Structure 1
Amino acid sequence: MANKNTAKRYELPLIITRNQVYFPFNQSDDLDAGRPATVEAIKYANNSDDKLLIVATQKVFTVNNPSMNDIYEVGVLARLTKVRERPHHITVQLEPLARVFINELDESGPFIIADATVTFHEPLDPDANPERLKNALFDFFNDKLELTRRLHIDLDALKAADMNLEELIYFLANKTLNSTEQRMAVLAENSLERRIDILLKFLEDDVANDAVGAITQIVRNRPQSGEGLDEVERDGLPLEDDEDEDEDEEFDTGEEILAQLKKRYFPKNFVTRIKKEAKKMGRVEPSERSRIIEYLDWLMKLPYDQETIDNLDLENVRKVLDKDHFGLEEPKKRIVEFMAVKRLAKENRATVLCFYGPPGTGKTSLATSIATAMGRKLVKASLGGVDDESKLRGFLRTYVGAQPGIIISSMRKAGTINPIFVLDEVDKLGKSNRGDPSSALLEILDPEQNKGFIDHYIDEPYDLSKVVFIATANYYWDIPRPLRDRMEMIELKGYTEEEKVQIAEKHLIPNGIESHGLKGYDIKFTDEALRFIIGGYTWEAGVRMLNQKISAIFRKLSVEVLSDVESNFTITPEEVQKHLGKPRNFFTKKEPEPIVGVVTGISVAGNIGDIMKIEVTTFKGKGVVNVTGNLEKMLKESGEIAASHVRSYAEKYGINPDVFLDTDINVHFPQASTKDGNSAGVAMTIGIISVLTDRKINPNVAMTGEVTLTGRVLAIGGLYEKILGCIRAGIETVLFPEENVVDLDEIPQEVKDKVKLVPIKNIDEAVAIALLPKKVKKKATA
């Protein structure tokens, strides 16, 4: 019980929260209040001069009108810092000032008045040194680097903040504990030493060690027919449940299993099934008995009402996303919108997000950031190569060695009914005579159907409606169409060179230094060195290969450090070449000077844009047009259309129409990679006109667009990637279809500033820009 030593006493409006425990000295996130008494209490406090009120937490989540017996006796004195009225509720932010003991409540008015006394912690033991205790806390978190990184705890900044011991305990508890019972245990404890012990015990616990996903058991009012949860309290606080102990508990008898039904909540259909299977155990063969025990083990250890509390504060979401990811403004904006809708529409379950884009652009890490921001557990299932529906839905129990599918297995691993569930690589799902996994996903992702998802092994409806599913993919068109229609597609485009430099400086290098044990060394990469790595050693739209090259340099430095070799910790282009060897030119270079018949097109391969040289030549023949290279059918047809257009409008371009009677044309794509599509039509047309008019082509101009027989230029795809490829190659002007002007809105201004973008409607406009005037030879004079 809390200490009620002499202190200031208040009679103030009371607001009672569900599952929210606030600590003094820690600014609250947004709190949404909708109960009439709470709204009236907030309005009254907001109209007062000091804006003070008392905040308490109710013990049972589902009680709608809590009284003194329904709340914890320890709360906080808080000041309102933000109040915003909305149509159906009111949103506030609080500044908790002090811990209070609630003496009694006056419930006679439109809102509750609390009589509360400010309480102080017990004096430290004379032998206890506050600084030593603070250092013990810092040492603990130094050993939990994964935890501190995930929760964005900057230990160096924390040490510099010069908090007193009580403030530090409250700060760390606020950051790491998510369970109402755990937070209340820390708040209610009077002794600072015991408060530290409680905090560290929770963080060392198997479940609470993953502090982001610490489980809150939400107690509901249910008919107590043997399957309900028996609430046990001590000193006003519920005992911690034995979930982590049960996880390793083996059941040998039906009685032991039935006894477990009284310790936690199970849905009625699962209670019936468990009782039925438990009764069988004494009447079957040992081999069948072991299969029943394994089946019951799955049923007993699945989560049914364990939930994490959502943190839907939009500022917190933005802060986490900005800290974890550089750029990606559009995806971040869409995620914030997703959170806003989820907060306003409490039961909104309709949206399934799908991040698609090149490898290494941050799709999976975005999902991780969403889980961190919301305070939910994260589980991942890789679907690449899955070609058997049973791997999702589970195998029938009649098969030897049968197990639940990926979905149920991941839910057991999560330990909560509302995790963030990442379905990785949905574009790489297979299909075989054993079923179509994408069809099974249609049910899993449909909020109208997944409330009763049936795994073949479990064979009972299981509720997935509170799960937030996030899918990832590399290629949009490889995702099955029905599945695509169920998800909101969010594209993650490739990074510019500038963005890659920023990502390396802010994320890759600091993380690499820490993971390679080089934190004590003053390692710095020059801007030129990073650009040298990007241009000479990587060929990607994302930053995965860049991270690998930076890690390779750190490994070399680690060896030098341990070998007592004198190392240069300022990484320059020369040092990069020393560690990584000579660079390779992955990308095509533009022509150094104008050439007749050599035109610069633009291609996209694997979400990476690059320029593409196209060579055109003519020779005596019978008017045949050949399009050569490693080409698919569509590209060859596009070359024939280009030649047909030039032949039809020859006189307009200053070409003698008779030349086509005895001249063969060869359009060649030199690179060995397979090429397809029709976006090289404009480039091929310009190349043919160039060689037939003997006019050189400007090597600083690249072009893309489909061409028709009449010379119109039609829209293409991948404009953003193609522009990045042109910038990388040093192209000054890019010609693109006028129909693609709408795509420019999605391209960052910094990209558009680096190259001249010229929309064209027809080939005439491309001729005027790309072809240089033909030099007139001067006649010799006597």
Structure 2
Amino acid sequence: MNNSNDLFKHLRLSDMSDFENIELIPIGSEGMGQDDKMGVLSEELPILPIRNIVLFPGMVIPITVSRQKSVRLVKKAYKGDRTIGVLVQANNSKEEPQPDDLYKIGTVGHIIKMFVLPGGNTTIIVQGRKRFEVKDYIKTEPNLIAKVAYIEDTFPKKLNKENKALISTLKENATKILNLNPEIPREAQIALDNIESNSYLVHFLSSNINAELIEKQALLETLDGIEQATRLLEHMLTDIQLLELKREIQSKASSDIDQQQRDYYIRQQIKVLQEELGVESPEQELDGLRAKAAKKKWTKEVNDFFHKELSKLQRTNSMSPEYPMLMNYVELLVDLPWSEYSKDNFDLIKAKKVLDADHFGLEKVKERIIEYLAVLKMKGDMKAPILCLYGPPGVGKTSLGRSVAKALGRKYVRMALGGLHDESEIRGHRKTYIGAMPGKVIQNIKKAGSSNPVFILDEIDKVGGDHRGDPQSALLEVLDPEQNNSFLDNYLEVEYDLSRVMFIATANNLDTIHPALRDRMEIIEVSGYTMEEKVQIAKKHLIPKQKSEHGLEKASFTLSDVAIQKLIEGYTRESGVRKLEQEIGRVVRKITKSIAIGETYPAKVVPVDIVRMLGQEVFENDSYENNEYAGVVTGLAWTPVGGDILFIETLLNKGKGQLTLSGQLGDVMKESAVAALSFLKAHADDYGIDYRIFDQYNLHIHVPAGAVPKDGPSAGITMLTAIASALTQRRVKSNLAMTGEITLRGKVLPVGGIKEKILAAKRAGIKEIIMCVKNRKDVEEIEPHYIADLRFHYVEHATEVLALALLSEQVKKPVQFVFQEETKAMVSAEV
């Protein structure tokens, strides 16, 4: 509707065979809407809202109706007197409009013909009669019915000289538009010449002029005919100017129509249009890049390289496929923060406060970070080992990096490395490839807008590799303080200084990290939280956060300490607090629902409320079992979600000395069992073991929860004690657990995960723990009040383990070993 190509479009209705029998009602300037065929108009009109088009008196237009209320309205009107009120919708919404959405002045329409189209839409041919103004809406259902006042045309019957000149000017400009626009059919000139009514002429041109919907509605609402004609002339003159400008552009860009000249023609048109619209031309864009470059603090080498690339871009045709590639490259050069650094705030007291406020516990880790910052403050450079925060999921490794950035006042960026397997993701692609882009390191530096952000390399242990290169090897250059001052990205092609970036990596598993990459990082273990620490984290951080996210900051309810402990023990099994936060979120949502629907909710949530809201407990913590059975020993194990206890069960039965291992044990645990049995065979006499047991009894070692894979060098002394108890039928000391590996010589070796294992033992009710003497330092690093009720035995040799673990008394019903006597073969010798 708003295109000059559609000028006089309604003339084309006569070309459609379906309209051959349409009888148009003649409407003149004197009596619009008063012809006998149309009858007397009622003061109450059914209203048809329309979009994107304005109906003027005397005009015939097609209207496609798709909204259900409107379809019912036109069908009902078509069966009656075919009279409807047509109002323009102020917004472009497809929903059913309300009275406030419609303009007040519209046109009475007479439905000439109605067609039902495939798909359910209905098209009507409507002829405008006269204007009306809505005074009030009587009904809104099943469709809008309004009380209206009709507006008579005020075009003077006799025109003075000035008005005659105005009408003549309208016709002349309409003819000029027809001549300037070759796409309008020539029949339009004939139709224009045959219009005799001045009022009809104004409405006809108003309906077809190139103008916005709101401007056409303004013409309809201009009730004075001469004023409407004057405003119409303004729009037509604007349309003529645009058409003349288009012809001028075509004249400027005219040339031979071969491919090269055609491209030039299009560029000239674009150039002229850009100048008229105020859009930057390629030359202006290049000038803008030069202005930005003049403010950069880059080296002479980079400056020369930039201007060389800019000159290349200037010589390239702006319509060439290479132009946007070069433009993207030059924009990257000028957008990177060369030698732009945020000022560091080395207030270590403030940094400590920030770390303490954001993270409860983790004292050793926070102390190491403060030491790291102190070294940076004193040295003034970043040539220090890259920190790698290593620990199970959910313990706050990534958020520690965010806190460091907050404390220093630096920008913070995070690069997720999980699943990354293409070296180009680190080093970037060469510019010769389609779709080339810089690596993620350079992309994040650009995003940060600073050359010294805190850069988190998240999940560095999950970087993979395939035929497209080894990303871990590409990270070597990024993380090496001796090399990263001249990091070379394949796309950038100029060296970039990363030496002042503070890289902090995070990892869940060190085994999958490239050895050379590990060598460049200082590993800081972020172990799991104790029960007490989790309770405090929940109270100080997780619960306020969840209340805020659910809009309950002002809601007066709390979770008691025992309720939080119930969540931790019964619904989570992890070293971190991520799952705990999810469970707290579930509780808060339950309370949110109760508040929203007006139900009562507990002001203080207790364990009973937790079970009511979340259902029965998901996990049951393993607890210590009695020592009534020989060959059953409690061991300690580390898992990705924290420590746990496990039971080693040993059973003897008559056989031929076979060893059976079950419980889905890994190779390391199998080797521990074999080593423990070999040690006892070698020292059978020391423990009163009849050597015939090894030949006449089968030994079965089982670790329960067979569906869970188990492996690791921490069950050696546990298996040794279990086998020794089974072979001697001696009881194992009650409330005792142990962890450690042994050698064939009986030497006890240290193991890892001590903190998690001790916490698991404490949860299970263990009172005494045996471990290698070299693990004493790990115990001393644990807060004293966490291990106040535990007694530790530090050993160096297997004999010490058995002396501590095995009691002198036997179990109540010991196995009575029965041995077959060996038959001696008679050997005769010839003398």
Give the TM interval when normalised to the shorter protein.
0.5 to 0.7
Q: Deviations over 1:36-69 (max 9, x none)?
A: xxxxxxxxxxxxxxxxxxxxxxxxxxxxxxxxxx
- Measured after TM superposition, the shift of residue 348 of structure 1 is 4.2
Give matches, 1:499-578, under 5 Å.
499-578=533-612
Task: Note if 1:284 corresponds to 2:316.
Answer: yes
Residue of structure 2 equivalent to 1:604: 638
Residue 773 of structure 1: CA displacement? 3.9
Supply the distance in 2 between the matched residues of 1:451 and 1:634 (Cα, whole angstroms): 43
State the distance in 1 between where 2:740 and 2:292 align: 68
Going from structure 1 to structure 2, the CA distance change for 1:756 and 1:259 (only over 3 Å counts) comes to: same
2:464–2:470 CA contact under 8 A, matched in 1: yes
Q: Are 2:302 and 1:270 aligned?
A: yes
Q: Could you tell me how far apart the structure 2 residues matched to 1:572 and 1:623 are? A: 55
Cα pair 1:307 1:417 within 8 Å, conserved: yes
Alignment check: 8 A CA contact 1:695 1:773 kept: yes
Unaligned runs of 5+ in 2: 1-279, 814-831
CA distance in 1, matches of 2:453, 2:646: 46
Give the Cα–Cα distance (whole angstroms) in 1 for the partners of residues 449 and 282 of structure 2: 18
CA positional deviation for 1:550: 0.5
- Cα distance in 1, alignment partners of residues 669 and 302 from structure 2: 59
Q: Please point out which of 260, 269, 272 is paired with 2:292.
A: 260
State the one-letter code of the partner of 1:752: I
Match of 2:435 among 401, 406, 409: 401
Quote how far apart the aligned CAs of 1:578 are: 1.4
Aligned counterpart, 1:457: 491
* 1:46 matched residue in structure 2: none
1:675 pairs with 2:675: no
Match of 1:367 in 2: 401
Aligned counterparts of 2:627 and 2:717: Cα–Cα separation in 1: 21
1:249 positional shift: 12
Cα deviation digits, residues 410-434 of structure 1 (max 9, x gap) = 0111011111111111111111121
CA contact (8 A) 2:630 2:811 kept: no
User: Following superposition of structure 1 onto structure 2, how do residues 259-408 of structure 1 map, counting pairs within 5 Å?
Assistant: 259-285=291-317, 286=319, 287-408=321-442
Alpha-carbon separation, structure 1, partners of 2:337 and 2:812: 86
Partners of 1:452 and 1:678 lie apart in 2 by: 43
CA offsets 1:313-345 (integer angstroms, 9 cap, x no match):
111111111111111111111111111111111
Counterpart of 2:782? 747
Question: Residue 572 of structure 2 contacts residue 619 of structure 2 at CA under 8 Å; is this kept in 1?
Answer: no
Rounded to whole Å, the distance in 2 between the matches of 1:775 and 1:441 is 60
State yes or no: 1:703 paired with 2:724: no
Give the 3 Å change call, closer, same or farther, for CA 586–461 of structure 1 in structure 2.
farther
> Partner residue of 1:498?
532
On the 8 A contact 1:614/1:667 being kept in 2, the answer is yes
Alpha-carbon contact 1:713-1:760 (below 8 Å) kept: yes
Residue 37 of structure 1: aligned partner = none
Offset, 1:260 = 2.8
- Are the structure 2 counterparts of residues 599 and 292 from structure 1 closer, same or farther at C-alpha, using a change threshold of 3 Å? same
Aligned-pair CA distance for 1:556: 1.4
Residue 459 of structure 2 contacts residue 506 of structure 2 at CA under 8 Å; is this kept in 1?
yes
Secondary structure, counterpart of 1:261 in structure 2: helix
How far has the Cα of 1:680 moved from its partner? 1.3
* CA–CA distance in structure 1, aligned partners of residues 427 and 703 of structure 2: 48
The reply to whether residue 719 of structure 1 matches residue 754 of structure 2 is yes
Cα RMSD for the two superposed structures:
2.1
Aligned partners of 1:254 and 1:279 also within 8 Å: no
Residues 593 and 528 (structure 1), Cα distance of their counterparts in 2 relative to 1, 3 Å cut: farther
Match of 1:472 among 497, 506, 530: 506
Instruction: Map Cα deviations across residues 517-540 of structure 1 (whole Å, 9 max, x no partner).
Output: 111111211111111111111111
Distance in 2, matches of 1:776 and 1:442, equals 59
**Aligned CA distance change for structure 1 residues 375 and 251 (closer, same or farther; 3 Å):** farther
- Specify the code of the residue in structure 2 equivalent to 1:702: A
1-side partners of 2:811 and 2:314: how far apart?
104
Structure 1 SS opposite 2:609: helix
Aligned twin of 1:763 = 798
User: Could you give the per-residue CA deviations for residues 677-730 of structure 1, whole angstroms, max 9, x where no partner exists?
Assistant: 332121112112222222232341111122233433222222222112111211
**For structure 1, which segment, 328-337 or 473-482, has the greater mean C-alpha deviation from structure 2 after superposition?**
473-482
- Tell me how far apart the structure 1 counterparts of residues 742 and 308 of structure 2 sit (CA, whole Å): 71
In 2, Cα distance between equivalents of 1:662 and 1:448: 65
Query: Cα distance 1:348–1:273, how it changes in 2: closer, same or farther (>3 A)?
Result: closer
Match of 1:646 among 680, 699, 702: 680
Structure with higher Rg: it is 2
Matches of 1:265 and 1:709 in 2, distance apart?
66
Query: How far 1:503 moved relative to its partner?
Result: 0.9
SS in 2 for 1:774: strand
Deviations 1:555-611 (A, max 9, x none): 111111111111113111011111211102254232145322211111112152111
| AA matched with 1:255 | D
Cα offset, 1:251, TM superposition: 8.1
SS of the residue 2:692 aligns to:
helix
Which amino acid in 2 is paired with 1:512?
Q
Is the 1:528–1:573 Cα contact (8 Å) retained in structure 2?
A: yes
Structure 1 stretches of 4+ with a deviation exceeding 6 A read: 248-251
* Shift in Å, 1:266: 3.7
C-alpha displacement at 1:476, in angstroms? 2.4
Deviations 1:98-147 (A, max 9, x none): xxxxxxxxxxxxxxxxxxxxxxxxxxxxxxxxxxxxxxxxxxxxxxxxxx
- TM-score (normalised: structure 2): 0.62
Q: Is residue 623 of structure 2 the alignment partner of residue 589 of structure 1?
A: yes
Specify the SS of the correspondent of 2:647. strand
Q: 1:754 to 1:548 in 2, by over 3 A?
A: farther
Number of equivalenced pairs: 531
CA 1:296–1:252 in structure 2 vs 1: closer, same or farther (change >3 Å)?
farther
Give runs of aligned pairs for residues 31-70 of structure 1, distance below 5 A.
none
Structure 1 segment 122-141 matched on structure 2, within 5 A: none
Alpha-carbon distance in 2 for matches of 1:319, 1:723: 29
- Output one character per residue of 1:481-501: Cα deviation in whole Å (capped at 9) or x when no partner: 111111121111111111111
Provide TM-score, normalisation by structure 1: 0.65
Q: 1:409 deviation in Å?
A: 0.5
Change (3 A) 1:722 1:468: same
Q: Does 1:434 align with 2:468?
A: yes
Distance 1:654 1:660 in 2: 13
Alpha-carbon spacing, 1:254–1:760, altered in 2? closer, same or farther (3 Å): same
**1:194-273 matches, cutoff 5 A:** 253-273=285-305
Bigger mean CA deviation after superposition, 731-740 or 530-539: 731-740
Secondary structure, counterpart of 2:455 in structure 1: strand
- 1: CA distance, partners of 2:517 / 2:646: 35
Match of 2:217 in 1: none
Contact 2:531 2:565 in 1 (8 A): yes
Task: Tell me if the contact between 1:426 and 1:473 (Cα under 8 Å) persists in the aligned partners.
Answer: yes
C-alpha deviation, 1:353, in angstroms: 1.3
Equivalents in 1 of 2:503, 2:729: separation in Å?
Answer: 59
Q: What SS is found at the alignment partner of 2:612?
A: helix
C-alpha deviation, 1:502, in angstroms:
1.0
